């Protein structure tokens, strides 16, 4: 018998759910086997049991669940399934809400082409395999000023054929695997036809010129008390009344940053954004996400009632260190809210993508990068996402396994720690801590390296010397890397000389982590 794969059946599990998994097997003949399963919280095995089953000849798919007696608390876990000398690993987590550690993906295909039986369910299960737990339904709407279509089948503003029936099926399938469904809308976008009907609702330059978006949309005044704000608020209510979405995902376009009413009064856009967010939280009592395009206006949005900091990163922040600063600044300003970063990197630049994943996660955020039929988000117009080769998918899956399993030192609950470490040039360190555990994330890029420029394939550092200044007695040291087929913690030899911890990191390609446990 061969174990082909194992993965969780949901993006995350609620505390009252038994974590369940799909097990793919292949057998030459009918046989009875014993599988050993071990559950790890960080580097510690916290539960194990043996599963007896009978395999029929051929390839088969089985579902298994952890016994209720496992009684796992909220957090991330690694699951090891062993048979003979073979081991297969996956990750999963238990949370009160997907917003505790959002791992956001997207959907942009809402056509009747998805009517094939089982196709939608298979796509959503594939996204859950990567531990996504929330989905942005991008450009699902009939019009920017009339979100829900008047008929089941309709054309969107770019003439794509869409279906409300398909949208309802996608939402239902997402809910079955614990993926939240968040509908996209724009804070001030309206069709040109609607804008022409309501010119006094629009935004203007200081000189009185109408503000448009690529002659495709008219930009409307979103300030509290405005006619457009009232209209859009009603559209939000109608959307949630008509479709079982879980909240609102609100976009802006980054520009303009200064605008005026039709009568020449200046509009405080940051105040308008926050006012709309907070009013929808109060009126609808649902999660609300707002896009801080280009990290603007992050100071105002961080004080809003938005449930996460969603920041679309653009130049002129081209360096990988800029991404780190953006994530850490958003967490600091917002009091530690989760951070999600959409950043558009072509699939051909795989090194850039993996480095971006690493620096975003190590800084305390997550990267919006996967959606639809396991496509890569590489363009701001989500339907232009790219198909990923299977080997590329396997690499990204290891990254999301690593991020999910070790969220205690990667997710929002971990703290950024200032730490002095001696590292070779070209290796960047980011330190996070949680209780008696500390993680030194080592990522292979230089201060001048840019995510906007194609990065060379990284050569693996071997036996890299690392010195870390520590304040407490060290109990144990481990290391792990999502770049390796075995991404789990492995013991690492070390010496503690006073306040210096000295060790050799066995390997660093893009991202490796040294885990330090202190006695107190």
Q: State in words which class domain 415-518 has.
A: mainly beta
Residue 12, C-beta contacts closer than 8 angstroms, at least 6 positions apart: 92, 93, 94, 95, 98, 101, 131, 133, 178
- Tokens encoding 345: 């990197």
Q: Treating both helix axes as pointing N-terminal to C-terminal, what angle do 320-334 and 350-363 enclose, rounded to 10 degrees? A: 30
Q: Which of 249, 492, 509 is nearest to 357 (CA)?
A: 509
Q: Where are the alpha helices (DSSP H) in 88-163?
A: 119-129
Question: Domain coordinates of the chain in residue numbers?
Answer: 2-94, 415-518
- The angle formed by the CA atoms of residues 265, 266 and 269, to the nearest 5 degrees, is 140
Q: Which of 43, 75, 39, 45 is nearest to 517 (CA)?
A: 43
Q: Are 252 and 186 in contact (CB under 8 A)?
A: yes
Q: Which of 46, 50, 104, 51 is nearest to 75 (CA)?
A: 46
- The angle formed by the CA atoms of residues 465, 471 and 476, to the nearest 5 degrees, is 60
Q: Are 461 and 331 in contact (CB under 8 A)?
A: no
Protein fold of 2-94: Immunoglobulin-like (2.60.40)
Q: Do domains 2-94 and 415-518 have the same CATH topology?
A: yes
- What's the pLDDT score for residue 148? 98
Q: Are 437 and 406 in contact (CB under 8 A)?
A: no
- Tokens encoding 66: 């952890």
pTM of the model: 0.96
Looking at the DSSP assignment, which residues form a beta bridge with residue 40?
A: 45, 78
According to DSSP, residue 14 is labeled -
Q: Treating both helix axes as pointing N-terminal to C-terminal, what angle do 227-242 and 269-284 enclose, rounded to 10 degrees? A: 40
pLDDT in tens, the chain (520 residues): 889 999 999 999 999 999 999 999 998 888 888 999 999 999 999 999 998 988 888 999 999 999 989 999 999 999 999 988 889 999 999 999 999 999 999 999 999 999 999 999 999 999 999 999 999 999 999 999 999 999 999 999 999 999 999 999 999 999 999 999 999 999 999 999 999 999 999 999 999 999 999 889 999 999 999 999 999 999 999 999 999 999 999 999 999 999 999 999 999 999 999 999 999 999 999 999 999 999 999 999 999 999 999 999 998 999 999 999 999 999 999 999 999 999 999 999 999 999 999 999 999 999 999 999 999 999 999 999 999 988 899 999 999 999 999 999 999 999 999 889 999 999 999 999 999 999 999 999 999 999 999 999 999 999 999 999 998 999 999 999 999 999 999 999 999 999 999 999 999 999 999 999 999 7
- What's the pLDDT score for residue 67? 92
Q: Distance between CA 48 and CA 463 in Å, rounded?
A: 33
């Amino acid at each position: 018998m061969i174990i082909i794969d194992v993965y969780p059946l949901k993006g995350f599990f609620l505390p009252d759910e038994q974590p369940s998994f799909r097990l793919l097997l292949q057998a030459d003949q009918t046989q009875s086997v014993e599988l050993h399963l071990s559950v790890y919280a960080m580097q510690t095995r916290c539960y194990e049991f043996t599963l007896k089953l009978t395999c029929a000849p051929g390839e088969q798919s089985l579902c298994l669940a952890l016994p209720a007696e496992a009684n796992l608390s909220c957090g991330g876990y690694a699951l090891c399934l062993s048979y003979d000398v073979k081991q297969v690993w996956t990750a999963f987590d238990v949370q009160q809400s997907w917003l505790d550690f959002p791992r956001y993906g997207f959907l942009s295909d809402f056509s009747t082409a998805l009517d094939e039986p089982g196709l939608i369910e298979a796509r959503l299960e594939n996204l859950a395999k990567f531990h996504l737990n929330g989905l942005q339904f991008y450009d699902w709407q009939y019009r920017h000023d009339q979100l829900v279509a008047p008929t089941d089948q309709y054309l969107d503003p770019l003439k794509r054929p869409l279906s409300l029936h398909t949208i309802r099926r996608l939402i239902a399938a997402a809910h079955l695997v614990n993926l939240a469904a968040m509908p996209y809308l724009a804070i001030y976008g309206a069709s040109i036809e609607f804008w022409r009907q309501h010119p006094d609702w629009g935004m203007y330059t200081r000189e009185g010129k109408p503000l448009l978006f690529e002659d495709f949309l008219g930009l409307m005044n979103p300030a509290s008390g405005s006619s457009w704000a009232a209209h859009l608020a009603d559209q939000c209510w109608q959307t949630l009344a008509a479709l079982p979405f879980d909240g609102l995902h609100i976009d802006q376009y980054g520009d303009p940053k200064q605008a005026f009413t039709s009568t020449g009064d200046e509009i405080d856009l940051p105040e308008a954004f926050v006012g709309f967010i907070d009013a929808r939280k109060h009126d609808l009592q649902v999660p609300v996400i707002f896009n801080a395009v280009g990290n603007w206006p992050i100071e105002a949005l961080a004080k809003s009632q938005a449930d996460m900091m969603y920041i679309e990163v653009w130049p002129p922040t081209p360096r990988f260190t800029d991404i780190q600063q953006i994530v850490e600044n958003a967490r600091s300003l917002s009091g530690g809210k989760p951070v999600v970063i959409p950043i558009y990197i072509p699939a051909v630049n795989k090194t850039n993508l993996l480095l971006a994943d690493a620096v975003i996660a190590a800084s305390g955020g997550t990267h919006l990068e996967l959606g639809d039929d396991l496509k890569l988000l590489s363009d701001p117009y989500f339907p232009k996402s790219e198909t990923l080769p299977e080997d590329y998918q396997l690499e990204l899956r290891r990254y999301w396994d690593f991020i999910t399993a070790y969220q205690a030192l990667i997710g929002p609950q971990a703290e950024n720690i200032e730490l002095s470490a001696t590292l070779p040039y070209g290796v960047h360190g980011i330190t996070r801590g949680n209780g008696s555990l500390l993680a030194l994330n080592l990522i292979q890029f230089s201060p001048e390296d840019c995510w906007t420029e194609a990065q060379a394939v990284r050569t693996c550092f071997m036996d890299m010397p690392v010195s870390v200044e520590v304040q407490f007695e060290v109990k144990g040291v481990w290391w792990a890397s999502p770049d390796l087929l075995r991404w789990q913690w492995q013991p690492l030899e070390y010496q503690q000389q006073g306040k210096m911890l000295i060790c050799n990191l066995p390997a660093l390609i893009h991202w490796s982590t040294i885990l330090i446990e202190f006695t107190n």
